[in-house]
């Protein structure tokens, strides 16, 4: 980087400038090295602060002309922020400039600022993440199932236990819709009739696809079809089955090498629940019925009983107070919700809206899970970079070691879609993915639950509108670090705009053979190569080509992506991101690669 006549070199992605790379353990020493050439009498100060505390100013030593070094370690967990101050002589004047990150939360090559208030500091994540996610989880390909829309396992397709004041679709092929009033409130919930028997009957299909883990949308008793309005945490919803059916599902899934992760909705319940009981549907006295209810302290009422705190103002979803002792004990205490279902042998939990739950409560959930089995995983729904997420004015601590094993990787999904649709440059995608690699503890990156779509987003084929682009996206999903998760029906070619259209019924017997083959072949590729699961991740780019290596001591995989509608020529010796490779990638894979439009290119060599 050149500033006037001065040549400055600092890049947080490069080991010669920051060692070790990325997030560090508490008390682990970091070495910083900055190069300043063609400056008169330069002095460099390293400025660092633990978030919320004062800044430390360390004059960097100069072991040789133009080279400046400093070291730092943090005794406390959390985020630290740093930048550099460069002082130098310029025609009889002493000038000062500031060197920091290109943008918030994104590392890489330093940017020079003449004004301190324009400076953006670099981030250091200091963690104690030493208990890794279970091996079965990190090695699995996951499959998300919205139970009501997957498959009806009852004889002749009979719908189990239809709910009062609801409607059933005439055929499995119908399109989903909502019946709402003028204020947007749902008047009658709609059901297709999918159930746990249906999941049970399709286990062999999932096994043949290569699935090793199932993430089920909520299955506990609730009024809606999505079940995020929990009515009773201790019961399976009658439309889905019962506890015996669920136990059988767990047992049969395990026989096929598949573990099941449940959706834990612990930030809010349903207004129609035994705990709130706004409609008198339950025999228990709910908080909305009496201030003497044993559940009254779980909720925050503004004006009793009709005005209360709810999730994003949705009155059907009253928020719970996670700091209430009786509520916490119900969820994480002895014989509580976590213990009951975890003891059945589930694979773990996915926490809904984790960013709206206190860190301390998530820690208690993690401890409750670990007390039952350390072979269960805890994943959180977080839509942004989880290392620096701020929610309700507080920096979150999801990935520091005591809370989540990993988070849902929406930044991956958003980056892939933006890049393939021409809304993000290859350089920006590279910066985004390198910053996730830099900001996350390594175990958290490799435990992220990657997706191309969920029940909360448009279907991936709807986003991309092109099978060639879809093939690229699936290739990235199945070769990227972390755990890939396929939203039910994506492999069949399902399309759908936002809710409810992204939650249509699985088109059994009407799948797209072309799209199914894309998913099947990429899953098989991942399962056949350990490097695509645990290998080092080294991204790079050249103009609008994005690529990466996945590498172990035994093998190396080269991924090249062309997001353009025309052919692209890539010269490996000229790409940005492989400058520090100890081996000659061009000699191993060939120097020049001609990439077809909208293409995913994979090459593989054995190193031993």
pLDDT over 80 at 604, yes or no: yes
pLDDT over 80 at 73, yes or no: yes
Report how far Cα 342 is from the mean position of its chain's Cα atoms: 22
Q: How much is the mean pLDDT over the chain?
A: 97
Supply the pLDDT for residue 1: 82
* Domain 536-606: CATH architecture, name and number where available: Sandwich (2.60)
Supply the pLDDT for residue 519: 98
pLDDT over 80 at 582, yes or no: no
In 27-141 the beta strands, taken as DSSP E runs, fall at 30-37, 40-50, 55-59, 61-64, 67-72, 78-90, 93-100, 111-113, 122-127
Cβ-in-10-Å burial (0-12, 13-18, 19+) of 206 comes to buried
Taking residues 575-580, what's their average pLDDT? 91
Supply the pLDDT for residue 345: 98
Supply the pLDDT for residue 83: 98
Which of the following is catalytic: 352, 402, 490, 491?
A: 352
2-127, superfamily in CATH? Immunoglobulins (2.60.40.10)
Q: pLDDT tens digits for 185-230?
A: 999 999 999 999 999 999 999 999 999 999 999 999 999 999 999 9
Three-class SS state of 83: strand
pLDDT over 80 at 583, yes or no: no
Given pLDDT bands bounded at 50, 70 and 90, which one contains residue 329?
A: very high
Supply the pLDDT for residue 608: 82
For the question of residue 243 being annotated catalytic, the response is no
Q: pLDDT tens digits for 79-132?
A: 999 999 999 999 889 999 999 999 999 999 999 999 999 999 999 999 999 999
Supply the pLDDT for residue 197: 98
Q: pLDDT tens digits for 470-510?
A: 999 999 999 999 999 999 999 999 999 999 999 999 999 99
The DSSP string of 361-428 is HHHHHHHHHHHH-TT-EEEE---S-TTS-EETTEE--TTSSSS-SEEEEHHHHHHHHHHHTTSS-HHH
Q: What are the residue ranges spanned by the domains of the chain?
A: 2-127, 268-318, 536-606
For the question of residue 335 being annotated catalytic, the response is no
Given pLDDT bands bounded at 50, 70 and 90, which one contains residue 2?
A: confident
Which of the following is catalytic: 381, 438, 443, 463?
A: 381
């Amino acid at each position: 980087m050149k500033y006037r006549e001065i040549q400055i070199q600092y890049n947080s992605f490069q080991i010669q400038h920051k060692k070790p790379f990325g997030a560090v353990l508490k008390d682990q020493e970091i070495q910083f090295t900055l190069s300043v050439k063609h400056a008169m009498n330069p002095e460099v100060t390293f400025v660092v602060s633990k978030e919320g505390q004062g800044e430390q100013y360390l004059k960097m030593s100069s072991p040789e002309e133009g080279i400046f070094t400093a070291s730092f370690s943090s005794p406390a967990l959390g985020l630290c922020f740093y930048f550099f101050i460069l002082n130098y002589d310029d025609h009889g004047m002493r000038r000062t400039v500031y060197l920091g990150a290109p943008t918030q939360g994104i590392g890489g090559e330093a940017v020079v600022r003449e004004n301190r208030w324009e400076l953006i500091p670099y981030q250091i994540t200091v963690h104690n993440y030493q208990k890794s996610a279970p091996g079965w989880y990190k090695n699995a390909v996951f499959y998300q199932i919205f139970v009501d829309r997957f498959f009806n396992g009852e004889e002749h397709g009979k719908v189990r236990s239809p709910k009062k004041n609801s409607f059933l679709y005439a055929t499995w092929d119908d399109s989903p819709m909502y019946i709402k009033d003028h204020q947007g409130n749902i008047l009658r919930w709609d059901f297709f009739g999918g159930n746990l028997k249906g999941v049970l009957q399709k286990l062999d299909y999932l096994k043949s696809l290569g699935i090793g883990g199932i993430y089920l949308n909520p299955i506990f008793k609730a009024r809606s079809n999505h079940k995020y309005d929990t009515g009773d945490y201790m019961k399976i919803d009658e439309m889905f089955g019962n506890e015996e059916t669920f136990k059988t599902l767990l047992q049969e899934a395990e026989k096929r090498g598949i573990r099941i992760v449940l959706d834990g909705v612990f930030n809010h319940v349903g207004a129609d629940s035994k705990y709130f009981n706004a409609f008198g549907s339950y025999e228990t006295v709910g908080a909305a019925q009496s201030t003497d209810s044993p559940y009254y302290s779980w909720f925050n009422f503004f004006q009793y009983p009709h005005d209360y705190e709810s999730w994003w103002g949705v009155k059907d979803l009253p928020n719970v107070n996670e700091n209430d002792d009786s509520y916490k004990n119900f969820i994480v205490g002895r014989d509580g919700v976590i213990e009951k279902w975890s003891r059945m042998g589930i694979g773990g939990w996915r926490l809904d809206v984790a960013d709206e739950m206190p860190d301390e409560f998530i820690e208690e959930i993690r401890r409750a899970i670990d007390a039952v089995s350390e072979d269960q995983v805890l994943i959180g729904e977080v839509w942004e970079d989880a290392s620096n997420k701020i929610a309700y004015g507080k920096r979150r601590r999801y990935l520091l070691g005591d809370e989540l094993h990993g988070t849902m990787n929406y930044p991956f999904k958003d980056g892939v879609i933006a890049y393939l649709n021409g809304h993000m440059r290859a350089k920006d995608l590279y910066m985004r993915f390198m910053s996730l690699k830099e900001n996350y503890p390594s175990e958290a990156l490799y435990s992220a639950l990657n997706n191309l779509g969920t029940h909360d987003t448009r279907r991936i084929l709807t986003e991309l509108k092109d099978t060639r682009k879809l093939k690229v996206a699936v290739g990235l999903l199945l070769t990227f670090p972390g755990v890939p998760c396929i939203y039910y029906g994506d492999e069949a070619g399902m399309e759908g705009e936002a809710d409810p259209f992204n939650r249509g019924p699985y088109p059994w017997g009407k799948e797209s053979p072309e799209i199914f083959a894309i998913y099947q072949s990429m899953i098989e590729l991942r399962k056949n190569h350990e490097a695509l699961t645990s290998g080092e991740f080294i991204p790079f780019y050249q103009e609008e080509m994005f690529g990466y290596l996945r590498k172990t001591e035994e093998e190396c995989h080269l991924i090249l992506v062309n997001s353009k509608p025309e052919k692209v020529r890539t010269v490996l010796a000229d790409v940005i991101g492989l400058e520090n490779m100890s081996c000659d990638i061009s000699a191993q894979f060939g120097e020049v690669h001609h990439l077809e439009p909208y293409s995913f290119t994979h090459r593989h060599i054995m190193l031993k």
